Structure 1
């Protein structure tokens, strides 16, 4: 889109005033033109862009799931190590390491 329709609509409003239908058409054309420019600037104006965005969303979802699993594993190992460290500390304090020999 080059904005020709938007320019024509704006000239109509300048000539004879603006009614609600023309104003809505201006807003719609301006929105479409702006969206088209934004997609072009982002490099998402080709037919493969929808597939690329779907793949990026899948990748982002997988990354979030992996990150969540990693934090769950770290938390789980931390909870398991606390009693082990406490028991080792008690064993050293009460001299139970001598008993093991």
Structure 2
């Protein structure tokens, strides 16, 4: 917890300096970084393997999106084909195609 020590030192400095702008800015920056590190650690992304894990998750999400997009395209394609077949069958019945066959 080295970040916690730095934040404590900055807070002590701010009390002595009556909170000048540079010290307050440093406190905010350190507090934000400490909070981000804690959040990443709670998510299990605080170790050295985290960048690889995030890259794998992004690849998996991209593959999922591609598969979902392909599935929708295939479904729409089949629906268009089915509608075309139904329209052609309706036209064949309407135009008396069955009489031509007999």
Pairwise TM-score range, normalised by the shorter structure: 0.7 to 0.9
1:84 aligns to 2:78 (yes or no): no
Unaligned 5+ residue runs, structure 1?
none
Pairwise CA RMSD: 1.7
Alpha-carbon deviations, 1:21-40, whole Å to 9, x = none?
A: 11111011101100110011
Distance 1:97 1:15 in 2: 99
CA shift, 1:91, in A, is 2.9
Q: How many residues align?
A: 101
Runs of 4+ in 1 over 4 A off after TM superposition: none
User: Is the deviation greater in 15-24 or in 55-64?
Assistant: 15-24
- State the alpha-carbon separation in 1 of the partners of residues 35 and 78 from structure 2: 51
Aligned to 1:7: 8
CA–CA separation in structure 2 for the residues paired with 1:70 and 1:92 = 33
Query: Secondary structure of 1:44's match?
Result: coil
TM-score, normalised by the number of residues in structure 1: 0.86
What's the TM-score, normalizing by structure 2? Answer: 0.85
Equivalent residue for 2:34? 33
Higher relative contact order (CA 8 A, sep 6+): 1
Q: Which runs of 5+ in 2 are unaligned?
A: none
